[in-house]
Amino acid sequence: MASLFFEQYDFTSCYDEVFAPNGIPRPHYRTIVERFTSYTPSEFNRRRALAELTFRYQGITFTVYGDETGVERIFPFDLFPRVIPASEWAQIEAGLIQRVTALNAFLHDIYHEAEILQAGVIPRRLIEGKPLFRPEVRGITLPYNVYTHI
């Protein structure tokens, strides 16, 4: 597949989200690859500049404090979208839910029964006395036991 974007791209050395090992775009990327291969370098650059201008205009920016230039920067982004098929997203979602549930259960325990500390699974010195540990929160139950908003 020769094009501005993919002519020197090696998709055989490792798993590739966009291309199958035979070089054919995966089904959920076909339309995107077709669109991007139709762009000339000047068209791609025009679209990138327009996207950057839009980000700046809408305030999708950040400032690096302490940087002497003090300039607002746009959030880094890629014009080529990352597509996650529903089947893959279901697995990611299940893993995220599991991890957030575990984090909230851990924090609830730390601020209530502290069984994980009493059992010595995690040494107290790794929790208590640390700047992010808030002893004043002990015994306070938060709505839905949500201690971390991820």
Per-residue pLDDT of the chain (150 residues; tens, 9 = 90+): 445 667 777 777 889 999 998 889 999 999 999 999 999 989 999 999 999 999 999 999 988 887 777 688 898 899 999 999 998 999 999 999 999 999 999 999 999 999 999 999 999 999 998 999 999 999 999 999 999 988
The pLDDT, as a whole number, for residue 4 is: 60
Parent domain of 97? 86-145
Structural domain contains residue 13: no
Query: Exposed (0-12), middle (13-18) or buried (19+): which is 2, by Cβ within 10 Å?
Result: exposed
Q: Is residue 126 in some structural domain?
A: yes
Amino acid (1-letter code) at residue 14: C
Q: 81: closest CA among 31, 144, 120?
A: 31
* pLDDT number for residue 1: 44
Number of domains in the chain: 1
Is residue 108 within 8 Å of residue 145, measured between CB atoms? yes
Task: Classify residue 116: in a domain, yes or no.
Answer: yes
Residue at 96 is within a domain: yes
pLDDT of residue 3: 59
Tell me if 48 is assigned to some domain. Answer: no
